Structure 1
Amino acid sequence: MNQFSRYLIAQAYNNAWANHRLLRACAQLSQEEFELATRTSFFPSIKMTLNHILTVDWFYIDAMERAARGDEPHPDYCAAFFEPEEPFATCAELWAAQKLCDQRLIAYCRRLDEATLARDVGILRDDGLKLDTPARLLAHLFQHQIHHRGQVHAMLAGTGVAPPQLDEFYSRGESEDRAPDFAELGFTEADVWGTSAP
């Protein structure tokens, strides 16, 4: 496996780890704080923002999985992934769905090879078929997630729940700090970095 593919795998694991930390904090909110309390951000609630992260994940992961299988783009992506706009009412439901989605993204990145990275991903839009590479779509998806997780992090600062630290990554010297989260998620350092991980 080349270094670029290994990097994408690490990013997928980091994404799952950050979602886990953020959603664990959000799960401490009351339903009113999660859903109804008006927040200042792109979306006016924590519930709306977290649902948006998930539905966009569904959309792009489906497109990349279809391309990897050699299938056609999804013919009705709006109905499939964005209707309803907020598919989950509670944090517990959303957290479970996000975890499954994160596992799909990790699995997709672990299967990446030169042929898959070179194959265009097709996405049907209102103005026709759009083609892009898996690398560009993954970069876009990771950035999208970081962007909106940051908004939720800021919104949590206006509640009684302390926002979790999300800017840690995978420095060797911090492996003990992430060990409890990794144990909850079933991750190992070798999963992220390969058999040569310390």
Structure 2
Amino acid sequence: MNSVAYFKRLADYNAWANRHVYDACAALPPAALDAPRRAFFPSIMRTLNHLLVADRLWLSRLSGAPVAMALDTILFADFDDLRAARIAQDQDITDFIATLTDDVIASDLTYQSVTAGAYTMPRDLVLGHMFNHQTHHRGQVSSMVLEAGGKALEIDLIYYGREQL
């Protein structure tokens, strides 16, 4: 599998996993989404907002139109609005990945960090990080959903693969 196909698969998986996460969150009582939790971003809503912020930051850097915002920015306080923005963001990621070539993926990206200086990194590493970052925080949300009385999420990449292939 070439790099373009690999990152397209990750973009599709990312959107699939996010749909499952949001479905699980929608089944919780609304107060459970904002209830304090033991996590880096201390609620389900704050963690979901962080994921959207991070994706907007990374995609803006990758597309050459960087934006700046704090990593703990609350973009949407309403769950339904956040969910709609997440769906749109996942589509933006999928659309962006479709524009890539192996040569672009093999190039470097220079970007300004939110918390530190400027970096130049291999673009494939940055793309991999963007998807890995989602997985990292979705795991935290999965734990918070269980803590709130929701069902366990089966959102590993292999589950996506079994469903799609």
Give the TM-score, by structure 1 length.
0.74
Q: Deviations over 1:50-102 (max 9, x none)?
A: 11111000000111111xxxxxx63x613xxx387111112211111111111
Give the aligned partner of residue 77 of structure 1. Answer: 68
Q: Equivalent of 1:89, from 77, 85, 90?
A: 77
> Displaced runs of 4+ in structure 1, greater than 3 A?
125-128
Matched pairs, number: 162
Deviation at 1:161, TM superposition (A): 2.3
Q: Which runs of 5+ in 2 are unaligned?
A: none
Give the aligned partner of residue 9 of structure 2. Answer: 10
d(CA) in 1 for partners of 2:72 and 2:37? Answer: 21
Give the percent of matched residue pairs that are identical in Structure 1 and Structure 2.
31
Q: Deviations over 1:104-151 (max 9, x none)?
A: 111111221133223322212365432222211111111111010000
Deviation at 1:39, TM superposition (A): 1.2
Deviation at 1:169, TM superposition (A): 2.5
Give the aligned partner of residue 184 of structure 1. Answer: none
Q: Equivalent of 1:138, from 118, 127, 131?
A: 127
Contact 2:107 2:123 (C-alpha < 8 Å) held by counterparts = yes
Contact 2:41 2:72 (C-alpha < 8 Å) held by counterparts = no
Q: Which runs of 5+ in 1 are unaligned?
A: 67-72, 176-188, 190-198
Provide closer, same or farther for how the CA distance between residues 41 and 120 of structure 1 changes in structure 2, counting only shifts above 3 A: same
Provide closer, same or farther for how the CA distance between residues 89 and 114 of structure 1 changes in structure 2, counting only shifts above 3 A: same
Give the aligned partner of residue 53 of structure 2. Answer: 55
- Letter paired with 2:51: I
Provide closer, same or farther for how the CA distance between residues 148 and 114 of structure 1 changes in structure 2, counting only shifts above 3 A: same
d(CA) in 2 for partners of 1:88 and 1:157? Answer: 23
Give secondary structure in 2 for the equivalent of 1:132.
strand
Give the TM-score, by structure 2 length.
0.88
Q: Equivalent of 1:104, from 92, 101, 126?
A: 92
Give secondary structure in 2 for the equivalent of 1:22.
helix
Deviation at 1:160, TM superposition (A): 3.0
Q: Equivalent of 1:165, from 122, 137, 154?
A: 154
Give secondary structure in 2 for the equivalent of 1:157.
helix
Contact 2:112 2:119 (C-alpha < 8 Å) held by counterparts = yes
